[in-house]
């Protein structure tokens, strides 16, 4: 059974209003796949997160369309940074994934550190020379309170190709992220995440 994390009360309310989800991490092992020896280092293209955002708010006269446009830029920056430090920068492992763990709310960082294989390259990072990003899609529902984004639930999927000295193989992430807003920005307070298909 996956360990459960404590979730702040405000997030529990937000999740109830948005989408149901659990706060755990799980690593999904992909079926064995053959690898292709590399003859040269392929050039990695830019990461692009295709984000679809909807917004909800309790205030009278709330404008969902305008609120979604307001929340999307910062949310997209957050998701892009998450995928970048978690998958596109294998050297992050040398620092103990400091930048990645800094994106989590303080009460859940210890749990996240124990579940890096479900959130990032994790233990395979030492073998990976680079990850070439493929398709990245996200669907977000953002809860507004007093005109500001207070919480969000994000369905995130990412596919890429990991290169190593032994060859190349697929990398993927499927995750539901529960985020808290405020200063200094978005932070992850709970998640349900799976990775798989790492380079062999």
- Over residues 100-134, the pLDDT tens digits come to 999 999 999 999 999 999 999 999 999 999 999 99
- Over residues 48-65, the pLDDT tens digits come to 999 999 999 988 889 999
Report the SS3 class of residue 86. helix
Q: Is residue 54 part of a domain?
A: yes
pLDDT of residue 59: 82
Q: Is residue 67 part of a domain?
A: yes
- Percent of the residues in the chain that have a pLDDT greater than 90, as a whole number: 72
Is this prediction's pTM over 0.85? no
Q: Is residue 1 part of a domain?
A: no
- What is the 8-class DSSP label of residue 2? P
pLDDT of residue 179: 98
Q: Is residue 10 part of a domain?
A: no
Higher per-residue confidence, 34 vs 96: 96
Instruction: Determine the length of the chain.
Output: 200
- The answer to whether residue 34 scores a pLDDT higher than 90 is no
User: How many helices (H) and strands (E) would you count in the chain?
Assistant: 5, 6
Could you give the residue ranges of the DSSP H alpha helices within the chain?
9-17, 64-83, 98-101, 109-114, 116-119
Q: Is residue 170 part of a domain?
A: yes
Q: Is residue 6 part of a domain?
A: no
Q: Is residue 4 part of a domain?
A: no
pLDDT of residue 43: 61
CATH number (domain holding residue 125): 3.10.450
- The answer to whether residues 53 and 68 touch, using CB atoms and an 8 Å cutoff, is yes
Q: Which regions of 64-186 does DSSP assign to beta strands (E)?
A: 128-145, 148-164, 167-180
Sign of CA dihedral 19, 25, 31, 33: positive
Q: Quick one: which of 97, 98, 188 has its CA closest to 140?
A: 188
- Over residues 73-92, the pLDDT tens digits come to 999 999 999 999 999 999 99
Q: Is residue 9 part of a domain?
A: no
pLDDT band at 184 (very low <50, low <70, confident <90, very high): confident
Half-sphere exposure of 193 (CA within 13 A, CB side): 27
- The answer to whether residues 165 and 84 touch, using CB atoms and an 8 Å cutoff, is no
Domain extent, residue 146, equals: 48-196
Total domains present in the chain: 1
């Amino acid at each position: 059974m996956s360990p459960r994390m404590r979730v702040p009360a405000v997030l529990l309310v937000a999740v109830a209003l948005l989408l149901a989800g659990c706060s755990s991490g799980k690593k999904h092992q992909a079926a064995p796949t053959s690898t292709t020896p590399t003859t040269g280092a392929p050039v990695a293209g830019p990461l692009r997160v295709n984000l679809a955002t909807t917004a909800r708010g309790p205030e009278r006269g709330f404008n969902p369309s305008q609120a979604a446009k307001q929340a999307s830029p910062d949310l997209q920056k957050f998701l892009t940074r998450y995928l970048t430090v978690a998958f596109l920068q294998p050297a992050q492992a040398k620092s103990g994934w400091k930048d990645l763990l800094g994106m989590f709310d303080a009460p859940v960082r210890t749990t996240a550190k124990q579940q890096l294989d479900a959130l990032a390259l994790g233990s395979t990072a030492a073998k990976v020379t680079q990850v070439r990003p493929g398709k990245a899609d996200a669907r977000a529902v953002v809860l507004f309170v007093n005109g500001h984004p207070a919480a969000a639930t994000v369905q995130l999927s990412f596919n890429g190709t990991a290169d190593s000295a032994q060859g190349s193989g697929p990398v993927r992430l499927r995750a539901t992220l529960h985020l808290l807003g405020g200063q200094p920005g978005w932070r992850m307070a709970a998640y349900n995440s799976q990775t798989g298909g790492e380079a062999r």
